[in-house]
Structure 1
Amino acid sequence: MNVLRGISVTQVSPGIDMPYFNIADPSFAMQSEAVRRARDESWIAKTNYGYAVLRHAEVGTLLRNTSLSQGSAQWPEHHGVHSGSFYQWWSKNLLVLEGTEHTRIRRLLNPAFSPARARKLKADFQVLANELVASIVERGSIEFVNDFAAPFATRALCIMLGLPEEHWQFIADRADTIGLALSVNINEEIQQIDTAVDELYEFVETLIQERRENPVDDVISTLVTKSSTDSDSLSPEELRNAIVLMLFGGMDTTRNQLGLAIQTFMHNPQEWEKLAADPTLVDRALEEVLRVNPTTRWVTREAVEDFEFNGVHFEKGTTVHLFTASSGTDIEAFPNPEIDISEKDRKAHFTFGGGKHQCIGQHIAKADMSVALATLAAAMTDIQLDGADEWLPDSGNTGPVRLPIRFTKRS
């Protein structure tokens, strides 16, 4: 091992020097100078959990490489979790499935997350955003996660699924706990994670039974009608696992990403003012936030066979982390990498993954977050940090645990 411009480097292939990162270290930061320097020197790095791909072109190519499969299935075992409720659920949900099983379940779930459904829901999301913003805008200071991001994300999820909004706090609490499983500290938190999964299982089983007996025009009822013992339908277990995934993923990522958006605009107030002056820029503003400061810091793949790529040999079973956050500010792909919501024709970012595992819920997520950001920008200006903030580890998924802010009501 040698040192390259202050970066720990290990040589793993003849003639190829790679930076090295301990991504389990609490001090590891995706947006650090160390990661930027490493990306300048090499498209790939070695980590304590396999490789990390740093640049946009290589991330995009490897997302679609058939020699790699979804690698998140191994995440619990890599951290000493080999059994329990979370382990069983995680091993069988859509995020980690492959092959014909993945294709079939995704096809059956797709209608619930279509662009048309996202557009239809926007009016309801707007009513929710108006209510929550009205409740905070006169206060001048709030804790953004608890006062806006969590209730908005979870109540928007309830709207999408056709659930009474009274359930939002229960769902938020359990989803928040399950989110700890995406941290490198999963083994320390596994007991409470398992309990949260069990409680969501019980909630979902009751919900499914209610919809079987009294179907209504909502996503859950639609999925329940597709559930049977038929090989081309969702089995009872698949239905339960899918709904638990919706309850977890639909809340956790949206809440985190809204917090990251506010952080980004606090650091770039001129872009916030652009959005306030021209709300039609909101879709572009959201895409820029997703590119420069995503909650999904990396997506994980695993080599299903030995293969060579760009002079590096990947052995079967090797874990490969595709650093979506690093790729989003790669100057080779984005010569002006800083956030600019006026910029047109940006290359695609990979915050929602890519290939056959691209996030199934992205259209809904973009619909609710764009409504939230436009409504917030219209109501408040001069946003600043107002005390100590607290953040999840900067690992696979991140976001604020606590984000106190102060602001001025926009006149």
Structure 2
Amino acid sequence: MTLIEGHKPITPADGIPVWDVDPYDEDMLRAPETFYADLRAKGPVVFIPAYSILALGQYETTQKVFSDHENFVSSRGVGLNDFKLEEPWRPPSIILEVDPPDHTRTRRIMAKALSPKVVRGLADMFRTTAEEIVDDLLTKGSFDAVTDLAERFPVSVFPRAVGMRDVDQRNLVDYGACVFNAMGPDNRLRRWALERNKQIAPWIMAACARDRLTDDGLGAMIYAEAAAEDAAITEAEAAMLVRSFLSAGVDTTVTGIGNALWCFATNPGEWDRLCADPKLARPAIEEVLRFTSPVHTFGRTAGRDTEIAGYPVEEGTKVICVLGAANSDPDKWGDPEAFRIDRRPLGHMAFGAGIHGCVGQNIARGEMEALLSVMAEKVARIEPAGEAVWRPNNAIHALDKLPLKLIPK
């Protein structure tokens, strides 16, 4: 069989629209709004011949398929490669790229380490760090909010929460970017990711080893599970789970914070609203996630002959769920183009859906809430100080540069 981007080619069912488009074009990744709208307009499911994949963008269909782990599996890869047919570029994640019952086993351990109770115990550290960074930035003129705030804050608190002794901002941020870029086709972005990972991976593996972690962090909790008499995981699996903290717990939070700052800088009235009522911080986070979809695309593989929106789908079909399109579907949200922090967008898929909902979403929300709450107390205005530049990534919608100035109260 001749594979296309690591998966088998398919013949779409009669009636499925065929669209000659490249969803991984770098210009489209920087500004995907037109692609999202066109994808939704073409129907609930679309065939893209360039990659021999099905693409979903309407909310109802995307949510249904993305949540259906029985018919559309993750164990064959959440990118374009089919792990059943082609060796993955790295050992598959034992939390992200597995199905039940294996997923149930590892997710239980991760959920325990990242429970709401554990995250509440980190709140004071999150807030103290946020105050230090915001106070520092208030003394400056303009600064790059991506490196100086969106990256700086999570890299200051998350490794400390994990218990890492070794911290390198660039390696930690780039590691997540590599993982998400590798989900795409054999383009410039994926080739960069594979090459950069050769440099980062040895550092990541060493930094997540048990002897490089403190005894009081999330990492130690995971290793303790492996050391228990009735251990459900091995020590090698514990190391993989600790590394999964970093691939999913840094880059997406960096992206979410950067996107939040962009939203408020371009919608000053909503910042005024948050300052007037800091209790809106949590719904504001949900609206940022819906409005910008930090993870814009995630893949699934049809694990058996099944159907989507009434169309037959053959086993082995690669399906991309375009979460950014679903999160901006007017049939679901009414006025999706408006950024409103009082929207309370229940059901957005920025953190996934179903059993594969992001296991680290509690800590991501906790970090974002701490930072936005501190800023609402100290910052009167968030002003653009230059043009925002978006960074193309095969799965993440993130900023590359965001010049800002903070005006103190």
- Code of the aligned partner of 1:67: N
* CA deviation profile, 1:256-287 (whole Å, cap 9, x unmatched): 11111111222222111111111000000000
Q: Secondary structure at the match of 1:406?
A: strand
Q: Is the 8 A contact 1:124 1:159 kept in 2?
A: no
- Code of the aligned partner of 2:313: F
- Code of the aligned partner of 2:28: F
Uncovered stretches (5+) of structure 1, i.e. residues with no partner: 1-10
User: What is the match of residue 196 of structure 1?
Assistant: 200
Q: Secondary structure at the match of 1:217?
A: coil
**Equivalence map 1:86-125=2 (5 Å):** 87-89=89-91, 91-125=92-126
Residues 82 and 131 of structure 1, relative CA distance in 2, 3 Å threshold: farther
Residues 40 and 128 of structure 1, relative CA distance in 2, 3 Å threshold: same
Q: Is the 8 A contact 1:18 1:44 kept in 2?
A: no
Q: Give the Cα separation in 1 of the matches to 2:255 and 2:193.
A: 19
**Equivalence map 1:280-291=2 (5 Å):** 280-291=279-290
- Code of the aligned partner of 1:61: K
* CA-atom RMSD in angstroms: 2.6
Moved more, 330-339 or 68-77: 68-77
Q: Is the 8 A contact 1:76 1:82 kept in 2?
A: no
Aligned match for 2:60, one of 47, 57, 61: 57
Residues 307 and 379 of structure 1, relative CA distance in 2, 3 Å threshold: same
Q: Is the 8 A contact 2:222 2:241 kept in 1?
A: no
- Code of the aligned partner of 2:123: K
Residue 28 of structure 1 and its aligned partner are, at CA, apart by: 1.6
Q: Is the 8 A contact 1:21 1:46 kept in 2?
A: no
Q: Is the 8 A contact 2:58 2:329 kept in 1?
A: yes
1:159 is the counterpart of 2:160: yes
Q: Is the 8 A contact 2:150 2:257 kept in 1?
A: yes
- % identical aligned pairs: 22
Q: Secondary structure at the match of 1:46?
A: strand
Residue 55 of structure 1 and its aligned partner are, at CA, apart by: 1.4
Residues 32 and 222 of structure 1, relative CA distance in 2, 3 Å threshold: closer
Q: Secondary structure at the match of 2:107?
A: helix
User: What is the match of residue 180 of structure 1?
Assistant: 178
User: What is the match of residue 336 of structure 1?
Assistant: 335
Q: Is the 8 A contact 1:72 1:300 kept in 2?
A: no
- Point out 4+ residue stretches in structure 1 off by more than 6 angstroms: none
Q: Is the 8 A contact 1:333 1:347 kept in 2?
A: no
* CA deviation profile, 1:285-337 (whole Å, cap 9, x unmatched): 00000111021002211100111221322111111111111111211111132
User: What is the match of residue 8 of structure 1?
Assistant: none
Residues 107 and 34 of structure 1, relative CA distance in 2, 3 Å threshold: closer
Residue 43 of structure 1 and its aligned partner are, at CA, apart by: 2.0
- Code of the aligned partner of 1:112: A
Residues 341 and 388 of structure 1, relative CA distance in 2, 3 Å threshold: closer
Residue 194 of structure 1 and its aligned partner are, at CA, apart by: 2.2
Q: Give the Cα separation in 1 of the matches to 2:387 and 2:173.
A: 24
- Code of the aligned partner of 2:206: E
1:299 is the counterpart of 2:298: yes
Residue 353 of structure 1 and its aligned partner are, at CA, apart by: 0.7
Residues 34 and 204 of structure 1, relative CA distance in 2, 3 Å threshold: closer
1:270 is the counterpart of 2:269: yes
Q: Is the 8 A contact 2:155 2:172 kept in 1?
A: no
- Code of the aligned partner of 2:131: N
